[in-house]
Each structure stands twice: as structure tokens, then as C-alpha cells.
Amino acid sequence: MHLWFQEEDDSSLRFGYRVSDVLFRGQSEFQTVDVIETEAYGRMLLIDGLVMITERDEFVYHEMIAHVPALLHNKPEKVVVIGGGDGGTVRELLKHPEIKEVVLCEIDGLVVDTAKKYFPQTAACLSDPRVSVKIADGIAYLKDHQPDSLDLVIIDSTDPIGPGEGLFTKDFYKSVARALKSDGLMVCQSESPWYEENIHQRIQNNLSAGFAHTKPYVGCVPTYPRGLWSWTMAAQYEINPENYSCERFNKLPTEDFQYLNEALMLACFALPNFFKRKLGLK
């Protein structure tokens, strides 16, 4: 008999992983946090029974959520990451020499402590002198943030259920827009293109309460349910993927990159037809 973990995506769909060990089970005031060892993807961090990261494929999500917006901003110096307590997004951001300061605002200290103990590959960077970690609700943090002061805001959040729900609302996106400088850029994880129709329209629609332009892109994350994942950038100006800086890309430690390359910097914006239709794009 083998032990299996199954992520229940909806009542009709489960994704299963054979488990070789259960390393940690914890409960915070917000959510359950578990660490298991899986045969196929190595160590896995679960929140409320949903996959947050795995040792073997976390690079896709983190490279895509960090480098795409960082390379499309002219000079990202001050960055705030909301959520992302595992540290993977921060690790990627720190590869940009322009970035002088990263604040990670994660609601749950248990996620950060668990990542430091079990996922040094993502969390070790949290002790870098350019990083400060705040254990706080990202909604309150950005609501009270100094206006017109940030270059990039990265919303590395859980799905829109539980404490992550408020990170997908109009009010929250308005606070993000206020905290950003006029040439600032934000990105959020925007779920699988396969999900029910209205989730993407809702994200798009809510983003437009704070921003004049949005730009979705996609990548393959095998351990996020349904595989194809999306992120959406938003700004007050039209985001043109061709404006990314090749020169800055080539100065990055690209030998470490396991997913992103120059061709994908443009190709990730090519969306499948069914997703374009959901978004109301031609």
C-alpha cells in the first residue's frame, strides 16, 4: 500500500501524487501548512491541501512571475511582493542588479518559518540585506502604503478563497495602483486558463478599476491543477512585450534559468484561442 496525496480541484477532479514521507503538519490562525515528500516532484508545500510549491517545478512559476515584469519595467528599484512567503519570487527578483529593495509582505509567519526549514532553495534569499520580511495582511499593507513610491508590485497569492480572496478585488487593485509610481507595473498570478469562465473576466474587470491596461501571459506549471497557468500584468500605459530589455536579460545569470529564455519572453504572450475568448480578446 502506498500513501497518496490528492489535490481536489473541484468536486469532479483530483490530481494525485505518491507520497514517500510526511515531514511537517501545522496549523496557523489562517490556514493549514503541510510539507510532504513526493516521488515525482520532491518536496511539496501545501496550504489548506493545495499545492503551493514543489522542489522540482517551482522554477517555472517563480521565473515567470518575477522576470517578465522586472524586464518590462525600465528601472525596477523598489519592489513589494504580496504573499510568496516561500521566498521563490524574491530569489528571482534579487538576480536583477537594478532592484535595490524588496519588501515581502506575507500574511502567515508559519509559511515563512516552514519554508526556511524545509525549502532553503527558495527561502535562503530572505536573509539577503536587500530584503525585508513583513508578516502582515497585504491588503492592509498596501492600503496604508506611501502613494507613488513603488516600481513593481508582485502579487504571489493563493487562490481567491480564504485569506487570498481580498487580493483579487477592485479595492485592492486600486491600492496597488496608488502605491505604484506612474510608470509602475504590477503582476498577479491569475489562475489556470482552464478554470471557469468568470474568474478571468473578474480579474480583468477588477484590475481595470485601478489600471488602464492589462496584459496576460502563460506558462506550464505541471503541479498547479490543469498545468497551463496564467499571470496578468497591469499598468497605466500599454504594456508592449517587445519593449523588454534584451541587454538586461543577457546580463542576468541565465545559466540558472530553467524555464525562461529570450524566445519565451515574447512567446509567453501568445495565448490559446479558448483563453483569448474567455478574456474577450480578439
User: Which residues contribute to the annotated binding site for S-methyl-5'-thioadenosine?
Assistant: 31, 106, 137-138, 163
156 is catalytic: yes
Q: Which residues, including other chains, have CB under 8 Å from residue 103's CB and lie 6 or more apart?
A: 79, 80, 81, 131, 132, 133, 134
For the bound state, the minimum distance from the C-beta of residue 161 to ligand AAT, rounded and expressed in Å, comes to: 10
Select from 70-78, 93-101, 143-151, 161-169 the region that touches ligand AAT (CB under 6 A). Answer: 161-169
Number of residues that this document lists for the chain: 282
Which residues fall in the annotated binding site for spermidine?
Answer: 62, 86, 156-159
What 3-state DSSP class applies to 32? strand
Q: Determine which residue in the list 157, 175, 204, 206 makes contact with ligand AAT, applying CB under 6 A.
A: 157
107 binds ligand AAT (CB under 6 A): yes
Q: Which residues, including other chains, have CB under 8 Å from residue 6's CB and lie 6 or more apart?
A: 14, 15, 16, 17
Catalytic residue among 21, 144, 156, 183: 156
Quick one: cell of 49? 491541501
Cβ-closest residue to ligand AAT? 83
Select from 19-27, 34-42, 102-110, 245-253 the region that touches ligand AAT (CB under 6 A). Answer: 102-110
Cβ proximity to ligand AAT: between 71 and 139 the closer is 139
94 binds ligand AAT (CB under 6 A): no
Quick one: cell of 76? 525596477
Residue identified by cell 477592485 is 170
Region 55-74 residues binding ligand AAT, contact defined as CB under 6 A? 61
Instruction: Return the H-helix or E-strand segment holding 47.
Output: strand 42-47
Closest CA to 70 of 243, 196, 195: 243
Closest CA to 136 of 108, 98, 165, 168: 108
Strand-pairing partners, residue 205, are none
82 binds ligand AAT (CB under 6 A): yes
The catalytic site residues sit at 156
Q: Which residues bind ligand AAT (CB under 6 A)?
A: 47, 50, 52-53, 61, 82-86, 88-89, 105-108, 111, 137-139, 156-159, 163-164, 166-167, 189, 224
